Chain A
Amino acid sequence: MRIPRVFFPGQNMERRLTWADALILLGIVALVGFGVQLAKDAPAVVRGPSISLHPSVLPVYAVLSTGRMFLAYALSLAFSIGYGYWAANSRRASKVLLPLLDILQSVPILSFLPVVLLSLSAVLPQKVATELASVLLIFTSQVWNMTFSWYQSLTTIPKDLREAARILQLNKWLQFKTLQLPFGMIGLIWNSMMSWAGGWFFLMAAEIFNVGSRDFRLPGLGSYLQEAAHQGNTRAILYGLATLTLVIVALDQLVWRPLLAWSQRFRLDMVHDEDAPTSWFYDVLMDSSLMARFRRNWIRPLAERFDFWVLRRSQARMDRDQSRAGSNVLAWLVLAATAALVGYGGWRAAGLLIQVPIHGWLRVALGIVATFLRVALALALTLAWTIPVGVAIGTNPRLARWLQPLAQLAASIPATALFPVFLAGLVSLAGGLNIAAVALMMAGTQWYLLFNVIAGASAIPRDLHFTAELMKIRGWERWKVFLLPSLFPYLITGSITASGGAWNASIVAEYAEFSGQTLKTVGAGSIIAEATASGNYPLLLAGTLAMVFTVVMVNRLVWRRLYTLAEDRFRMD
C-alpha cells in the first residue's frame, strides 16, 4: 500500500495567509452566496422516486451508482489534466491556481451538498438537479488529489528528459504523450484509486438527502441502503452491503489492479522491483492474442494517424503563430468578469449574512465547537487503537500478509453506507446519535490512519529495532525514543486526511431522519442540515461558511506546521 504524501504547494509553506488565499476565500463566499440566493426559489416540497427493496433491483441500482461515479470520474480526470497542465505551464496562472487548489482540497465538500441541491433544483427539473448534484459532489471529492498529483508530476519531470524532448523537436502533443503523461501515470492511477474510494463515500450520502419535507433521492445503492435501514429491513441491508462490496471488489480486480500492473512500465528508476503490483486479469489480457491483434491493427495505426494529424496542424499553426496577439485582452476580460461576479456574489452573501441574528451566530459558534470536539474525539480514539495495531502488523510480516488484504477490503466499504446500520443499533441508547456520529467519523477515517501507521512501522529500518533491543529499550521508553518519532510523519499525514474526512461526515452524522423521527444533536453539521430543512437560508450560508473557514484555518495553523516539522525532522529517507 503506497501512502500518498499530502501536497502543500511549496512556495507558501512559510507564509500563513496570502492575498491570494483571501481572494479565494472571498470567491468561495461569493459562490456559496449565489447558491443560497438561487436556493430561495427551490420548491418547498420535494418528493423523490420510491426506492424498492426487492433484491432484483440491485443490479440496476449498482449500474446506476457506478455510472454516476464513472461520469464524475471522467469529469475529474479531464479537469485535473487541464488544470494541472495550465498551472504547471503558466507562472502567472499558477499564482492563483495553486492556492485555490490548496483551499479547495481542505474544504469539507459535504457541507456544500444542501446548497448545491437546493440551488440546482431551483433552476432545473428535480430529477436532473439531483443527478447533477450527486455527480458534482462526487466530482469535487475526487478531483483535487488527482490534480495535485498531476501538477506535481509535471513540475518534477527530470531536466534531462525535458531537454531530450525539446532537442528531439517533439511538439506539445508528443511531449504530452511520450513524456508528461507517462511520467505522471503512476501517481495519477494511485490517486484515481483513492478518489474512487472517496467517491463512494460521497455517493452514498448524495443519493439520498432527506430533510423535512424535502426528500432528494436517486435510485442507487446508497439510497437502497438508507431506505433499508429506514424500514429496519436487516436482510435488505445485508443484500445492499453485499452488492456494494461485490461492485467494489470487481472494480478493483478488473480495473484498478490491471491498471496498476500496467503502470509499472512508467517507473523512472532503472532497477527491477520485486514487489511490483501484479494482476491476474492483466496477465490474461496481455496473453490474449485477440487483444494483441486489436492493439496491432487498430490502436497503434489510429494513434499514429492522430500523431501525424497533430503534427501537420501544429506545423501549420506555427507558421500562423508569428502574428498573434490579443489573447491577453481576452484574459483580462475574463479576469474582469470574474472579479465583477465575485464582487456581486460577495455583496449578496453579505446581505444574507447580516440577516443572521446574534443568537444565530452564537448557535453556529457553539455548533462549530461541538463538531470540533467530536472530530477531535474521533481522531483520538482512532489513534488509540490504530497505533498499537498498526505497529503490530507493520513489524510482523507474517501477520501483515493475511491482515492487510482484509483491512483493505474493510476500508473499501464507504462509511456512509454503514451509517444507517449504526443508527439502527444505537438509536435507542442515551445520546445515541452522539455516539453514532463519532462512530461514523471513525468508520470513515480510521483506515487512513491504520494504513499510514502500518506503512510507517514497516519503514523503520531493521537495524533500529535491533539496536533498541540491544540497548534494552523497553516499554514506554521504546515508544518514546524510537517508535513514535519514526511514526510521526505518517501519523501526521494520516491525521490530516482523517480529520478532513471527519468534518465531512458531520453533515450526515449529526442530523438524521430515522423511522419517521428526526434525530439531531448540537453541531455545525446539524445546523446546516436543519437550515436546509426549514429553509433558513441566512443560517445555511453562515453555517456552511463557518465550517469551511474553520477547517481551512485548522489546516493552515495546525496541520501544515506539523507536516512541515514532520518532513524536516523525522523523515527517515
Chain B
Amino acid sequence: MEGPTPLLELQNVTQAYGTGAKRFVAVSGVSLTIHEGEFVALLGPSGCGKSTLLRIITGLQKPSEGRVLYRGQPLAGVNPHATIVFQTFALFPWLTVQHNVELGLKARGVPKAERRERAIALLDKVGLDGFETAFPRELSGGMRQKVGFARAMAVEPELLCLDEPFSALDVLSAETLRGELLDLWTGGELPTKAILLVTHNIEEAVYMADRIVIMDKDPGRVVRDMKVDLPYPRSQKSASFLSVVDTVYAVLAGRTEAEYVEMGTAPGQPGRTRNLPEIDIAGLAIVLELVSQSPTRSANLYDLARELKLDSDELLKLAEAAELLGFATIDEGDIRVTDLGVEFAEADVTERKQLFAARIRRLPIFEWLLDMLEKEEDHEMQWDDVQDLLEREFPSEEAERNVETVVEWGRYGELLAYDDSREVIYLETPEREEQV
C-alpha cells in the first residue's frame, strides 16, 4: 500500500493560543505526510492536540506557524476535498436522514434528482434503506453515525477524516461499525483516497489503521510514526496483534524517569509544571491492589485494561498518577507496584488518606499552594486567584482542571478544603474544623 503520491503534507505546524506570558503551545512542530491509499490513525491521550491537528488538516483552522499543503498546493480556507465524520455525529436534527446526506451535494450545486439518487444509493450501502424520511432523533446512536458516514462520503472526499467517530457509541455498535467501515475500505468501495482516524483508543487504532502516528501532550507533538503490517481482517486475539498493541502502550505510557523529572517544577518557577492527571482515586487503589497481588507485583498495561474493562486512556491516566505519587513505575508497557504502592493498596481508609497526603505534599504544585495558604492570614484563597496563577503555566481550561484535581486530591488527603458558596480553598486544620 506504499502510496507514492503525497495527498497532504504538514510542514512544521505549530498551533499556539494566547500571547505574552499566557501563550501556550497546543501543537508543536508537527510534520506529517499522508499518501494516497493510506489509513492513518492519529493516536494520543486527551489534550495532545490531535483534534486541533485534524482541524488544521481540514482547513477549519489556520496554524500559527508552518505550512499545510494539499497535493502540493498551500491550503487556503476549508479543504474542499476533505470531510469529517464527527464524534457527536453533528447531524442537523431538523433535516431528514436523506436531506442530511444531500446537504453537501446541494452546497456544491448538484441538481435535485441526482442528489436524491446518490443519497439513496449511499444510505443503501450503509444499510439504512427505508430510513430516508426518518429524522435523526428517531435513530439509535449507531444508525446516526451511519448517517454521518453517508453524509461524509456523499461528497466523494479524497481525504476522509474521522474524529473519534466510535467513541460516543455503545461497545457493540462501535464494533459493528468499525468492521463495516473496514470492509468498505479494504473492498475498494469507498471513493476516498486516504482515511485519517483520530482516536485515543489504542486497540481501535491497531485494528483499523495501516499506519499509526502517536502523539503525546505538553506540548502536543508526534512521538512515533509506525507502520502496522497486519493483514486485514485483523483478529484482535492474534499474537501479532497483541504485540503491536503492546508496543503502542509502551510508547504512550513512557518510562518512569527520575523523580525530579516526573514531578516537574512549582508554578512560577522555571521549567514545566506537571499537569496532574484527572483520575478517580478509588480506581487508583483498585489498580494498585490488583497488580500488587500478582507474584511479580507487575502487570502488562494492556492486559490490565482488558481485565478491568477500562479504556486505554483511563488506564494510562491511572498509571500516570501512580507513577507520579511513587506508587508504581512504568517501563516498556508494564506497570510495577513499588513498596509504597503495596503499602497503599493494603492500608485501610484512614491510613490510605495519610499515605496519600504524605505523597501529594511532595508534589511541587501542592508544596507551592500549601505554602501560599500558610502565608495567607485566614489560610484561604479564592479559587479564581489560584486558577489565575496557574494560567501562567497552563491554558485556561487546563488550569481550571488542575485546580479541580488539586482540590479533589487535597480533600481526599484532608490537606485542603473547599467552600463552594464562597469559592475559597482553605487549609484543613483542626481549629478550623471546630469553627465549622
Contact = CB atoms under 8 A, between A and B. Distances in A.
Interface of A: 158, 160-161, 163-164, 166-171, 174, 178-179, 182, 265-272, 304, 307-308, 311-312, 569
Nearest to A265: B94
Contact of B421 (A158, A271, A307, A569): A569
Contacts of B137: 269-272
Interface residues of B, number: 30
B78 A179 contact: no
Interface in B87-109: 87-88, 90-95, 103-104, 106-109
A170 B107 contact: yes
B241 interface: no
**6 smallest beta-carbon distances between A and B, as pairs:** A160-B90, A164-B90, A168-B104, A270-B137, A182-B94, A169-B107
Contacts of A272: 137
Contacts of B107: 168-171, 174, 311
Contacts of B131: none
B58 interface: yes
Contacts of B106: 174, 307
B60 A166 contact: yes
Interface of B: 55, 58, 60, 78, 80, 82-84, 86-88, 90-95, 103-104, 106-109, 112, 135-137, 151, 155, 421
16 contacts: A158-B90, A160-B87, A160-B88, A161-B90, A167-B82, A168-B83, A168-B107, A169-B104, A169-B107, A174-B106, A178-B92, A178-B95, A178-B103, A304-B112, A308-B109, A569-B421
Contacts of A179: 92
A160 B78 CA distance: 15
A13 to B, nearest CB: 14
A208 B27 CA distance: 67
Given A160-B88, A167-B84, A169-B108, 20 more contacts: A160-B87, A160-B90, A163-B90, A164-B90, A164-B92, A167-B78, A168-B83, A168-B104, A168-B155, A170-B103, A174-B107, A178-B95, A178-B103, A182-B94, A266-B94, A267-B93, A268-B93, A308-B109, A311-B109, A312-B109
Contacts of A312: 109
Contacts of A182: 92, 94
Nearest to A168: B104
A271 B88 CA distance: 15
B383 to A, nearest CB: 13
B192 to A, nearest CB: 14
A160 B86 contact: yes
Contacts of A311: 107, 109
Contacts of A271: 137
B94 A164 contact: no
Given A171-B107, A178-B103, A182-B92, A166 B78 contact: yes
B95 A167 contact: no
Q: Which of B78, B91, B103 has the most CB of A within 10 A?
A: B103
B92 A161 contact: yes
Contacts of A163: 55, 60, 84, 86, 90
Nearest to A569: B421
Contacts of B104: 168-169
Contacts of A304: 112
A174 B91 CA distance: 15
Contacts of B94: 182, 265-266
Contact of A167 (B83, B112, B136): B83
Contacts of A164: 84, 86, 90-92
Nearest to A175: B107
A166 B421 CA distance: 42
B247 to A, nearest CB: 33
Given A166-B60, A167-B82, A265-B135, A270 B93 contact: yes
A304 B115 CA distance: 12
B84 to A, nearest CB: 5
A270 B136 contact: yes
A182 B86 CA distance: 20
Nearest to B154: A168
A182 B93 CA distance: 9
A164 to B, nearest CB: 4
A543 B155 CA distance: 63
Contacts of B91: 164
A506 to B, nearest CB: 39
B294 to A, nearest CB: 43
Nearest to A160: B90
Contacts of B108: 169
Contacts of B93: 265-268, 270
A167 B60 CA distance: 7
Given A179-B92, A267-B93, A268-B93, A167 B135 contact: no
A307 B198 CA distance: 34
Q: Which of A160, A169, A170, A174 has the most CB of B within 10 A?
A: A169
A176 to B, nearest CB: 13
A179 B103 CA distance: 11
Nearest to A181: B94
Nearest to A268: B93
B52 to A, nearest CB: 12
Q: Which of B58, B60, B82, B90 has the most CB of A within 10 A?
A: B90
Nearest to A164: B90
A164 B103 CA distance: 10
A518 B290 CA distance: 90
Nearest to A301: B112
Q: Which of B60, B80, B94, B108 has the most CB of A within 10 A?
A: B94
A178 B90 CA distance: 13
A530 B155 CA distance: 69
A304 B109 CA distance: 10
A174 B95 CA distance: 13
